[in-house]
């Protein structure tokens, strides 16, 4: 078989089917809709089984801390009577240092169960370290493919650090420059090795995060006697929020509001060679968060199990400078040194807490490890080297790729709401334009209602605007 780019890409569905062990056609309707819940059920693992799988490799059961000093600071910045209690679920306590250990534990376990000799993951983030860690425990080979460098061979400190961590666990790391070669190389490796695709977006990967939401609800009931009012999830590809929300629902915490938070990188293109090193966050930003929210099936599997808009009550952004500031605040006020990307949700929660009453509770749903290139100092130094202006001032004046503005006072940290109506409309429009549908079925309509977490009338109105009829 030819290894030419076009030839390999034409075989992607066949390669993926062999590498994931899922026949996605079983869930398809032949049009827009597919049976999401059936796909999730086909993982073959109950919540209790997932907890047991994770527990055997030391994953999960992470602590929750009350951030009393950050709460006190938020109350000083808030109107009188406002300032919810802030709690932090410390996922940095997992073996690989992030919540993605939960996804990896289930994915790698499933790979071994199916008889695969090794696993491959395409990721520049914490998931690579998580997969490498779990593969080491279960005795599987591991290859991590990273989009790492620009065309000049310059790589971001954060990504280089993650490569170091993957290699420390015994994984082979293949580092590539930014561009379309990532997916091509990934497919080629899957085909050549016959390894398992430990994708971020498989049903068993997302189901692994359900234990986080479930655990969080149970811990808060034990700690304060009730469910939290708000849980804030850092949002990129959507699996973090999807799994956490599903876990909260399984725990019966259906009234808890789920808020997505991303770093505002508006104007920067994630696949641009020139702009690749202009950003200081490689995950948890709008460059992934927005496209994956408005059309989840852009991932490395035919149907993504990460479908965040189904569970999202609110979507906010924070700026890079605000996240760096809160990272330092967490260390100096609470004695927890954690990586900046995991503190996106903390920056958002610090702002949102000031809208809430003092007897209410907001939970920051995850943290991540820090060290070497993931620390804020090497990231800020790298930004300066790339011509980014760094100064203290008004965070809302920050321009991604041009400046990083650290707040001159904590009361300037403000989470900015995104337009949920616009986001929901975008999902419907993306679904229709995939094949330029002019007519859809009642089943497709029902699917889009669930996908957008909106009313049937809302979806019908958007369809009418696009001159799409329902048969």
| pLDDT value, residue 427 | 98
- If asked whether residues 398 and 270 sit together in one domain, one would say yes
Q: pLDDT tens digits for 215-235?
A: 999 999 999 999 999 999 999
| pLDDT value, residue 65 | 97
Q: pLDDT tens digits for 404-452?
A: 999 999 999 999 999 999 999 999 999 999 999 999 999 999 999 999 9
Task: Centre a 10 Å sphere on the Cβ of residue 180 and count the other Cβ atoms it contains.
Answer: 10
Helix (H) or strand (E) holding 223: helix 203-224
| pLDDT value, residue 362 | 98
Mean pLDDT, residues 254-282: 91
Distance CA 314, CA 354 (A): 16
Q: For 42-156, where are the alpha helices, taking DSSP H only? A: 47-56, 68-77, 100-114, 126-138
| pLDDT value, residue 430 | 97
DSSP code, position 78: S
Helix (H) or strand (E) holding 260: strand 257-263
| Ramachandran quadrant class, 47 (left: phi over 0; alpha: psi -120 to 50; beta: rest) | alpha
- If asked whether residues 27 and 71 sit together in one domain, one would say no
- If asked whether residues 211 and 230 sit together in one domain, one would say yes
Asked whether residue 291 carries a pLDDT value surpassing 80, the answer given is: yes
Asked whether residue 68 carries a pLDDT value surpassing 80, the answer given is: yes
| pLDDT value, residue 417 | 98
- If asked whether residues 227 and 355 sit together in one domain, one would say yes
- If asked whether residues 261 and 304 sit together in one domain, one would say yes
Domain boundary among 202, 217, 249: 202
Mean pLDDT for all residues in the chain: 95
Mean pLDDT, residues 343-355: 98
- If asked whether residues 126 and 245 sit together in one domain, one would say no
- If asked whether residues 287 and 379 sit together in one domain, one would say yes
| pLDDT value, residue 43 | 76
Asked whether residue 42 carries a pLDDT value surpassing 90, the answer given is: no
CA-nearest of 332, 335, 361, 330 to 347 is 330
Instruction: Provide the pairing of β-strand 416-417 with 314-318.
Output: antiparallel
The number of distinct structural domains making up the chain is 3
Domain that holds residue 458: 423-470
Secondary structure (DSSP) of 154-188? -B-HHHHHHHHHHHHTT-EEEEEESSTHHHHHHHH
Q: What is the CATH number of the domain that holds 133?
A: 3.40.50.1100
Mean pLDDT, residues 65-94: 98
Banded pLDDT at 124 (limits 50, 70, 90): confident
Mean pLDDT, residues 11-32: 90
- If asked whether residues 45 and 63 sit together in one domain, one would say no
| pLDDT value, residue 132 | 97
Banded pLDDT at 57 (limits 50, 70, 90): very high
Banded pLDDT at 183 (limits 50, 70, 90): confident
Cβ–Cβ < 8 Å for 133, 103: no
Report the chain's terminal Cα–Cα distance, integer Å.
Answer: 43
Asked whether residue 179 carries a pLDDT value surpassing 80, the answer given is: no
Q: pLDDT tens digits for 300-328?
A: 888 999 999 999 999 999 999 999 999 99
Mean pLDDT, residues 89-108: 96
| Whole-structure pTM value | 0.96
- If asked whether residues 337 and 221 sit together in one domain, one would say yes
Asked whether residue 373 carries a pLDDT value surpassing 90, the answer given is: no
Instruction: Provide the pairing of β-strand 439-440 with 230-234.
Output: unpaired
Banded pLDDT at 210 (limits 50, 70, 90): very high
- If asked whether residues 293 and 212 sit together in one domain, one would say yes
- If asked whether residues 194 and 281 sit together in one domain, one would say no
Q: What are phi and psi of 225, to 5 degrees?
A: 85, 10
Cβ–Cβ < 8 Å for 148, 124: yes
- If asked whether residues 91 and 165 sit together in one domain, one would say no
| Ramachandran quadrant class, 387 (left: phi over 0; alpha: psi -120 to 50; beta: rest) | left
| pLDDT value, residue 177 | 87
Instruction: Provide the pairing of β-strand 361-364 with 230-234.
Output: parallel
């Amino acid at each position: 078989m030819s290894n030419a780019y076009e030839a390999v890409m034409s075989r992607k569905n066949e390669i993926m089917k062999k590498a994931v062990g899922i026949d996605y056609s079983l869930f398809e309707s032949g049009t827009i809709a597919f049976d999401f819940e059936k796909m999730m059920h086909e993982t073959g693992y109950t919540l209790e089984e997932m907890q047991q799988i994770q527990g055997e490799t030391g994953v999960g059961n992470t602590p929750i801390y009350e951030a009393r000093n950050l709460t006190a600071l938020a109350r000083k910045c808030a109107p009188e009577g406002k300032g919810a209690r802030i709690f932090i679920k410390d996922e940095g306590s997992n073996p690989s240092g992030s919540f993605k250990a939960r996804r990896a534990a289930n994915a790698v376990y499933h790979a071994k169960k199916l008889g695969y000799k090794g696993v491959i993951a395409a990721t520049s983030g914490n998931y690579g370290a998580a997969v490498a860690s779990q593969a080491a425990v279960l005795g599987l080979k591991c290859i991590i493919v990273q989009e790492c460098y620009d065309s000049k061979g310059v790589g971001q400190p954060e990504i280089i650090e993650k490569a170091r961590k993957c290699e420390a666990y015994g994984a082979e790391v293949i580092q590539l420059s930014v561009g379309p070669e990532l997916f091509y190389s990934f497919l080629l490796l899957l085909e050549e090795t016959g390894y398992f695709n430990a994708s971020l977006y498989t049903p068993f990967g997302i189901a692994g995060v359900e234990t986080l939401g479930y655990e969080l609800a149970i811990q808060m009931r034990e700690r304060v006697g009730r469910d939290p009012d708000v849980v804030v999830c850092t949002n990129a590809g959507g699996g973090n929020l999807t799994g956490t929300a599903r876990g909260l629902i399984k725990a019966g915490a259906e009234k808890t509001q789920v808020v997505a938070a991303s770093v505002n990188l508006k104007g920067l293109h994630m696949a641009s060679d020139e702009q690749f090193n202009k950003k200081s966050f490689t995950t948890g930003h709008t460059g992934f968060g927005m496209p994956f929210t408005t059309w989840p099936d852009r991932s490395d599997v035919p149907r993504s199990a990460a479908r965040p808009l189904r569970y999202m009550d609110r979507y906010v952004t924070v700026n890079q400078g605000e996240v760096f500031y809160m990272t330092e605040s967490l260390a100096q006020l609470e004695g927890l040194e954690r990586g900046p990307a995991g503190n996106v949700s903390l920056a958002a929660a610090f702002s949102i807490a000031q809208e809430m009453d003092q007897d209410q509770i907001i939970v920051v749903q995850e943290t991540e490890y820090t060290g070497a290139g993931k620390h804020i100092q090497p990231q800020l130094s790298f930004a300066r080297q790339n011509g980014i202006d760094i100064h203290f001032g008004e965070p809302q004046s920050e321009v991604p790729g041009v400046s990083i503005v650290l707040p001159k006072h904590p009361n300037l940290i403000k989470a900015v709401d995104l337009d949920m109506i616009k986001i929901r409309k975008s999902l419907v429009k993306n679904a229709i334009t995939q094949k330029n549908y002019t007519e859809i079925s009642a089943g497709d309509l029902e699917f889009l209602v669930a996908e957008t977490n909106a009313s049937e009338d809302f979806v019908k109105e958007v369809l009418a605007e696009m001159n799409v009829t329902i048969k």
